[in-house]
């Protein structure tokens, strides 16, 4: 029987509910329990796939092709448990499914209402695919009191009544602000937030209190009295030096112990936190450092490249070095060519990440050319690989080489592919279809050339599976010309039609991949491509 932990937030957004859910799941996992985490988002988008990175941050992609909230990246990185379609549900998806059923007549003429139809659908998502999990953690996006979140709160209230006693637990994340002028921590926002939650019929069992200053025991006792919880269930959550320090910090404060006590579990085994101590040792005690220049278009919001940033840190952990990331707006290279050398010469490695649209594309191509000509370790991801192919085609004499994503071009080195093979058979799409349904999404296999650098990086493997999220593909008609320029197509789709990986054998380290390897990197298991890229950058640093 799976036990459910419902995680809500109050006072303000961005308190770290996702990180808290991931950390708690990691602590329960360290005690030997099998866990799964789900995210319920109240917004009306069906998924975040068409949302601007500046609005929502990165879109995280699962193996089965779901475009999800970035919190699912935290879940996977902290637990190693692969998420899937059912682990991220939005109001838009719930309402879409209900309206489709109503149009089919599935409700037999009944009036379709928020209660019971919407709340029942939310409960079905929560209860689906329990398999043999011990704990299922459900994080509800937004804050208590948000209008759009009310159906989710009502669904939680109903579930807590319908499931067995001691099968559910509520964790509420709040803010205990420090008022500098008064020199005091203020507990009133937490009290009001809990009161708001209680007015919806949900009594929290554990309070996780975010604060910039330590919360004295007297204040914890005060919160407990006014919020009707045990004093031990008021858990301080102070700012941490690294997100990877959070599981250890929460364990020291007794979060996992208190959660288990809430379920009546008092004889749980002690957690094995050795891998988290190792992660923090590697992170906190580096033996060197490298600087990586990330040339992108969404550099104004680092959450747009959340998984990428974490994967670079993981690559540094593999070598016990600190990775300094310099975010560089690709557009500046389109305004002043002389700025390229000034910005990129100090870098020990250059990375061009994924993205959509023409803005900044010529700046990314200029960064690729700089890395190729100067022998600087280069890593191109998704659009970054496509820019590397366009740069190669131009170097090979196709001066008009470009992508149809940017408009009409005489030399479409990159373009829309309308059909491809999957494990289930032929998949097709329309070039002018809805943006949310025209991409190659999720895990796809790639065949690696056995004598290639990437095959060696993957431990000699000749077939891999990685996650994709893109609409355009490299045109195989230009492969011969690019190979003459020195570009090796070392990874192809199993049918040999779609380029997946390129490299330059004569370059110190030059790799471009059509997929997103950062989505599968973890602090205790760095992705091999990032580990090798940082290793190459470290060698570059030593040469300098």
- Buried b vs exposed e over 131-166: b needs ≥16 C-beta within 10 Å? eebbbbbbbbbbbbbbeebbbbbbbbbbbbeebeee
Q: Assess whether 466 carries a catalytic annotation.
A: no
Q: Assess whether 382 carries a catalytic annotation.
A: yes
Distance CA 75, CA 36 (A): 8
Strand 206-211 relative to strand 184-185: parallel, antiparallel, unpaired? unpaired
Distance CA 310, CA 351 (A): 14
Distance CA 101, CA 276 (A): 46
Q: Assess whether 209 carries a catalytic annotation.
A: no
Kind plus residue range of the DSSP H or E element containing 41:
strand 35-41
Exposed, middle or buried: residue 92 (CB in 10 Å: 0-12, 13-18, 19+)?
middle
> What's the token pair of residue 469?
């999220």
Q: Exactly one of 319, 468, 470, 516 is catalytic; name it.
A: 516
Q: Which residues 6+ apart lie within 8 Å of 225 measured at CB?
A: none
Q: Exactly one of 251, 518, 527, 532 is catalytic; name it.
A: 518
Distance CA 179, CA 195 (A): 22
| Helix, coil or strand: residue 100 | helix
Q: Exactly one of 138, 227, 382, 389 is catalytic; name it.
A: 382
The count of C-alpha atoms lying within 13 angstroms of the C-alpha of 417, restricted to the half-sphere facing its C-beta, is 20
Distance CA 8, CA 435 (A): 32
> What's the token pair of residue 52?
């601007």
- Kindly list the catalytic residues: 382, 516, 518
């Amino acid at each position: 029987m799976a036990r459910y932990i419902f995680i809500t937030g109050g006072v303000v957004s961005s308190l770290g509910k996702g990180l808290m859910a991931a950390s708690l799941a990691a602590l329960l996992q360290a005690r030997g329990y099998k866990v799964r985490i789900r995210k319920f988002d109240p917004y009306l988008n069906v998924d975040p796939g068409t949302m601007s990175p500046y609005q929502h941050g990165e879109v995280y992609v699962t193996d089965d092709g779901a475009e999800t909230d970035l919190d699912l990246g935290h879940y996977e990185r902290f637990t190693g448990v692969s998420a899937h379609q059912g682990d991220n549900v939005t109001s838009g998806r719930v309402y879409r499914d209900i309206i489709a059923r109503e149009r089919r007549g599935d409700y037999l003429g009944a009036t379709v209402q928020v209660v019971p139809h919407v709340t029942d659908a939310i409960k079905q998502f929560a209860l689906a695919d329990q398999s043999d999990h011990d704990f299922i953690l459900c994080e509800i996006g937004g804050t208590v009191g948000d209008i759009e979140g009310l159906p989710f709160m009502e669904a939680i209230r109903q579930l807590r009544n319908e499931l067995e006693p001691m099968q559910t637990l509520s964790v509420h994340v709040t803010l205990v602000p420090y008022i500098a002028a008064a020199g005091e921590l203020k507990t009133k926002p937490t009290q009001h937030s809990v009161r708001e939650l209680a007015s919806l019929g949900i009594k929290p069992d554990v309070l996780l209190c975010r604060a910039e200053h330590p919360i004295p025991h007297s204040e914890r006792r005060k919160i407990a009295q006014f919020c009707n919880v045990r004093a031990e269930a008021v858990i301080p959550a102070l700012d941490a030096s690294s997100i990877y320090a959070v599981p250890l910090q929460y364990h020291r404060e007794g979060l996992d112990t208190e959660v288990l006590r809430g379920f009546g579990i008092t004889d749980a085994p002690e957690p094995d936190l050795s891998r988290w101590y190792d992660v923090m040792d590697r992170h906190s005690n580096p033996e060197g450092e490298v600087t990586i220049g990330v040339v992108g278009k969404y550099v104004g919001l680092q959450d747009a490249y959340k998984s990428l940033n974490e994967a670079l840190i993981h690559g540094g952990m593999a070598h016990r070095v600190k990775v300094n990331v310099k975010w560089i707006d690709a557009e500046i290279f389109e305004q002043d060519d002389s700025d390229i050398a000034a910005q990129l010469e100090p870098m020990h490695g250059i990375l061009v990440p994924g993205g959509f649209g023409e803005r900044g594309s010529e700046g990314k191509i200029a960064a690729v050319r700089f890395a190729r000509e100067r022998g600087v370790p280069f890593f191109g991801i998704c659009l970054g690989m496509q820019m590397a192919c366009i740069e190669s085609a131009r170097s090979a004499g196709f001066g008009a080489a470009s992508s149809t994503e940017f408009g009409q071009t005489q030399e479409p080195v990159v373009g829309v592919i309308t059909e491809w093979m999957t494990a289930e058979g032929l998949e097709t799409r329309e070039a002018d279809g809805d943006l949310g349904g025209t991409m190659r999404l999720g895990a796809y296999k790639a065949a690696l050339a056995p004598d290639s650098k990437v095959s060696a990086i993957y431990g000699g493997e000749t077939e891999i599976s990685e996650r994709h999220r893109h609409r355009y593909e490299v045109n195989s008609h230009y492969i011969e010309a690019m190979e003459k320029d020195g570009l090796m197509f070392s990874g192809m789709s199993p049918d040999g039609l779609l380029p997946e990986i390129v490299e330059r054998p004569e370059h110190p380290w030059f790799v471009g991949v059509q997929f997103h390897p950062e989505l599968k990197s973890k602090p205790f298991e760095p992705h091999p491509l990032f580990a090798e890229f940082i290793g190459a950058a470290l060698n570059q640093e030593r040469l300098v």
